[in-house]
Structure 1
């Protein structure tokens, strides 16, 4: 056994070797209730845990396994989900009481439907936990009625509603992966409902073929006549660490009927191998969360079947990350046809010693093999090699989103190329639509489908209806796979890089790509607007984007007021830029905020027009236009000429030759003339081909621009529009400097004067205080002094002389000083 500390050091080193992750940001986000992405919901106060979904072949009916009920939902309408019928199937009070006595919660003692499969064209086979005592039954798919007596469901359905399981019916036989006991200690992969000479099969419990597995999904490959099971379990072959989780793929043959003497009623074709979702120099993402099968393209061999899975890691280094890996069927078959590990029954240790290969484990037809061959299969069922992902690399890696479920679809784009689109469900309640490109994964959009994180969810894709159904504890949500009408212009339709959507020049709309639409503008790989939309005129748009944001909005402000101009983002991948005619936005005057808005203090230098541009993938478009004007009661008309700078456009776009992009993506010109008369609250700017209407802030403003090719424009307003060139403050600087010098000189002079007065007061004769002097004078002298003081007061009232802030005597000398 290897040293655990050495493993920890290896984990840490591999973590540092991991390359920097590329942030995967959805281009457009639709929170719950957003008008741009309308969803259809079904919920009922008496229905919960609608997490098991079964879709009819034509896609018109969705059967839902819920808590204590089976529902039949009509989903034939695009904008409605209608409850057609409901079958109540709940345990009796006695069953619930027995479940509660075993220490289970009352809420968990309900009947959670966990198996829902079509048995034939008329019946559905359903199994539920039934108060920790699984039951199964047959349900008529037309009337949604069940037969009176239910069958024992052990080995077909889990006891615990929180345990994951998988089930699939092929040719009337049920293949399941679940646990076969109350405590969940007996995992089994088994076959049920066998008839005739075929018998039900399961794994040998004593062989340790499964080690505490978590079943994820099963898939049937018709050309191989095999069932593949995907799950995660403890990897006993790694004995250097306790409970090291590995992801597995196992196979069994449909023709298997068990051995004649050895492995009677047991699988003879069971084999398993490790799924290794790992990039070079990185730790593996070893815990599988979900997997879906992508059939091969039309005309391609079955070996091109792909399995897309979501994987997480048990290592803290990769905590919070989700990886998507794809595995090819031909690689899985190659691993199963290779060497196998040997299990020592005495020490329960695996080894890879070279031995004579009696037979190939996993090969179909071994039920007729000899006992010696079956004993070899019985002890050699773990493939020595691991199944590597396609391209030996990760298909997608996200550090921001924790994915739990996925479904995959192949889409034929307008260029007759197939693109793989993944629909990924996050734990936080968002559904991501991502297209796989050579440059990496591109998340087209995210849609919030439920509010609170939930442990049990499911996805069901209906390709004929173009819908994805999400089953949650809150209800069922239908999400259209395409949302083309959200994109109002050709550039937005192309920048979305959605294989489902393309711009139709004839109808001037973004439509779903299909065989009926030819000549659609689309560029999935690069998203190049200039090349894809070269046949589309940008000179007119009747609507300004999906949110109908105003353009040319008049903003009336007062001087020294803080102004903040909001600019809507074209997408979460775009960058917002602010510009002014004939001016550069200095960082000393302007503050660019994180949300793309512009903040500044209103001053004569900051009044005028502001243009917000959005740049994405080399394409630039106008998002907002503001006219910041000082509030004034009287206005004069002073014409001012502006020239828009030539070098502010990105040279790779169609807007290079256009100095003023118009509404949304139109390429018009800067309005030539603006006139505002005294007392008007609305100004209309018009010329031969241009009309601009502005209103006070808070009202809708429209802008039509149909003239192009102008490089210069004139503005005339009710007040002078200051030139955006930098003002010269030399005169102001000189005046301020002179005033500062004068103030300093005055302060110094006063300081010297105070010091001089203090020096004089020290050398001057001291005056006697009146109190003490009055005590030494005779009564005659005191009466004389009183008379002098009376005369002094009268003189002061008459003359009111004040010198240096002190009153003077009648002779002009300071009081109390000798004459």
Structure 2
């Protein structure tokens, strides 16, 4: 909508149309956002608690009026949010957002921040309420260029939304942790029987809950990645990482998450992060494929585990890639094993695709 960014929903009931959106022209809600992805993720066993999560980057209001720093965000709304009755009419009453941090801890507490979210991938697990979230980030630093991949759990995202709120106060309007009384039901929870059987709809929320939500969209605690740091960083590479899809692969020694990363110059990088005995992680780049003949940014990637194919697009077209090329890893057992590709194993004669079966 031009300069007026919004998270917007329309529903049609009979002949009437109902819409709900974020507040217009209010930088505390959204401040020049660039949206990256949105996903429906269930919160509890009750569908009334279902939320939609939005991943984006925006100018950080908490960095100060004159600071044009960009932060990455995860925000959420309840699916059954219908707006308020007297206040926040046709506005979300459950919209909250938190900072998504991807940084490398540095000496004397100075972290190297990868602030700009480029892509997000939600890896489904056996538990639909707890997928694993993979994000590709780049730096907005003028000192160096680089990319990183960070992994987040839904537990840490929910913990940020269940934690303290950020609040602007004092003579210089600084952002601080809100220490006052939090109204009931807790702002940001959905109207459902899970937490509160009294309120059947967001229109039933008490006035103090709705007025609190007008002023408090931002959470105080950021969401930190698993392990406290990226699982993969690229700071000397001639390319920037732009897209990610992840395939959970069963290998002989258990499951691995294989990253397929699209670059800004038309390559696909296949990588895996392995936890070593001392608890550190090791990055292994398995392959670097030039997919398109002239360097053109990878725009989107789709994974078909059923067909064992990766579909990759750029402005030049669409390409189909097999997930593995085990035969390229040489013709003896040592070369096959030293490649450390979770897709591949030595079958006695050749390096070939590994399938977990009872037969060795």
- Deviations along 1:633-652, whole A, 9 cap, x unmatched? xxxxxxxxxxxxxxxxxxxx
Match of 2:262 among 415, 425, 449: 425
Equivalent residue for 1:324? 149
Task: Write the distance in 2 (CA, Å) between the matches of 1:274 and 1:341.
Answer: 11
Task: Write the distance in 2 (CA, Å) between the matches of 1:195 and 1:474.
Answer: 42
Match of 1:207 among 22, 26, 41: 26
Describe the SS at the equivalent of 1:354.
coil
> Once structures 1 and 2 are overlaid, which stretch shifts more, 282-291 or 342-351?
342-351
Task: Write the distance in 1 (CA, Å) between the matches of 2:359 and 2:350.
Answer: 13
The answer to whether 1:448 aligns with 2:290 is: yes
Task: Write the distance in 1 (CA, Å) between the matches of 2:327 and 2:51.
Answer: 42
User: Conserved in 1, the CA contact under 8 Å of 2:266 and 2:314?
Assistant: no
1:414 CA drift (Å): 2.1
Change (3 A) 1:276 1:258: same
User: Conserved in 1, the CA contact under 8 Å of 2:311 and 2:321?
Assistant: yes
5 Å-filtered alignment, 1:637-648, equals none
User: Conserved in 1, the CA contact under 8 Å of 2:265 and 2:298?
Assistant: no
Equivalent residue for 1:469? 311
User: Conserved in 2, the CA contact under 8 Å of 1:361 and 1:381?
Assistant: no
Change (3 A) 1:195 1:460: farther
5 Å-filtered alignment, 1:115-264, equals 180=1, 184-195=2-13, 199-208=18-27, 209-224=29-44, 225-239=50-64, 242-264=67-89
Change (3 A) 1:332 1:458: same
The answer to whether 1:302 aligns with 2:126 is: no
Change (3 A) 1:473 1:206: closer
Describe the SS at the equivalent of 2:212.
helix
User: Conserved in 1, the CA contact under 8 Å of 2:242 and 2:298?
Assistant: no
1:232 CA drift (Å): 0.4
Task: Write the distance in 1 (CA, Å) between the matches of 2:174 and 2:25.
Answer: 15
Describe the SS at the equivalent of 1:274.
strand
Describe the SS at the equivalent of 1:382.
coil
User: Conserved in 1, the CA contact under 8 Å of 2:8 and 2:21?
Assistant: yes
The answer to whether 1:489 aligns with 2:332 is: yes
Task: Write the distance in 2 (CA, Å) between the matches of 1:418 and 1:349.
Answer: 46
Question: Relative contact order, CA 8 A, sep 6+: which one is greater?
Answer: 2
Describe the SS at the equivalent of 1:200.
strand
User: Conserved in 2, the CA contact under 8 Å of 1:336 and 1:361?
Assistant: no
Task: Write the distance in 1 (CA, Å) between the matches of 2:81 and 2:43.
Answer: 16
Give 5+ residue unaligned stretches, structure 1.
1-179, 520-819
5 Å-filtered alignment, 1:458-537, equals 458-487=300-329, 488-505=331-348, 508-516=349-357, 518-519=359-360
User: Conserved in 1, the CA contact under 8 Å of 2:72 and 2:115?
Assistant: yes
Task: Write the distance in 1 (CA, Å) between the matches of 2:182 and 2:115.
Answer: 30
1:290 CA drift (Å): 0.8
User: Conserved in 2, the CA contact under 8 Å of 1:466 and 1:480?
Assistant: yes
1:186 CA drift (Å): 0.6
- Deviations along 1:621-668, whole A, 9 cap, x unmatched? xxxxxxxxxxxxxxxxxxxxxxxxxxxxxxxxxxxxxxxxxxxxxxxx
Residues matched between the structures, number? 330
Change (3 A) 1:237 1:274: same
Task: Write the distance in 1 (CA, Å) between the matches of 2:355 and 2:297.
Answer: 37
The answer to whether 1:269 aligns with 2:112 is: no
Change (3 A) 1:214 1:236: same
User: Conserved in 1, the CA contact under 8 Å of 2:249 and 2:343?
Assistant: yes
Task: Write the distance in 1 (CA, Å) between the matches of 2:240 and 2:178.
Answer: 40
Equivalent residue for 1:283? 112
1:475 CA drift (Å): 0.7
Equivalent residue for 1:392? 228
Match of 1:293 among 122, 131, 151: 122
1:352 CA drift (Å): 2.6
1:312 CA drift (Å): 1.3
Describe the SS at the equivalent of 1:383.
coil
Task: Write the distance in 2 (CA, Å) between the matches of 1:454 and 1:218.
Answer: 25
TM-score (norm 1): 0.39
User: Conserved in 1, the CA contact under 8 Å of 2:266 and 2:297?
Assistant: no
User: Conserved in 2, the CA contact under 8 Å of 1:469 and 1:476?
Assistant: yes
Change (3 A) 1:517 1:466: farther
Change (3 A) 1:289 1:212: same
User: Conserved in 2, the CA contact under 8 Å of 1:428 and 1:453?
Assistant: yes
Describe the SS at the equivalent of 2:61.
coil
User: Conserved in 2, the CA contact under 8 Å of 1:404 and 1:427?
Assistant: yes
Match of 1:406 among 237, 241, 244: 244
Larger Rg: 1
- Deviations along 1:211-264, whole A, 9 cap, x unmatched? 001111112213451111110001011117521110000001111111122112
Task: Write the distance in 2 (CA, Å) between the matches of 1:280 and 1:193.
Answer: 45
Give 5+ residue unaligned stretches, structure 2.
45-49, 192-200, 276-280
- Deviations along 1:80-125, whole A, 9 cap, x unmatched? xxxxxxxxxxxxxxxxxxxxxxxxxxxxxxxxxxxxxxxxxxxxxx
Change (3 A) 1:464 1:198: farther
Match of 1:364 among 168, 175, 190: 190
Divergent runs of 4+, >6 A: 345-348
Task: Write the distance in 1 (CA, Å) between the matches of 2:59 and 2:190.
Answer: 27
Task: Write the distance in 2 (CA, Å) between the matches of 1:261 and 1:361.
Answer: 16
1:456 CA drift (Å): 6.5
Task: Write the distance in 1 (CA, Å) between the matches of 2:285 and 2:217.
Answer: 40
Task: Write the distance in 1 (CA, Å) between the matches of 2:343 and 2:303.
Answer: 15
5 Å-filtered alignment, 1:385-784, equals 385-399=221-235, 400=237, 401-415=239-253, 417-438=254-275, 439-454=281-296, 457-487=299-329, 488-505=331-348, 508-516=349-357, 518-519=359-360
Task: Write the distance in 2 (CA, Å) between the matches of 1:194 and 1:497.
Answer: 53
Considering fraction of residues, name the structure with more helix. 1
Equivalent residue for 1:336? 161
User: Conserved in 2, the CA contact under 8 Å of 1:428 and 1:451?
Assistant: no
- Deviations along 1:434-484, whole A, 9 cap, x unmatched? 111014121111111113343561111111111111111111101111112
Task: Write the distance in 1 (CA, Å) between the matches of 2:240 and 2:344.
Answer: 27
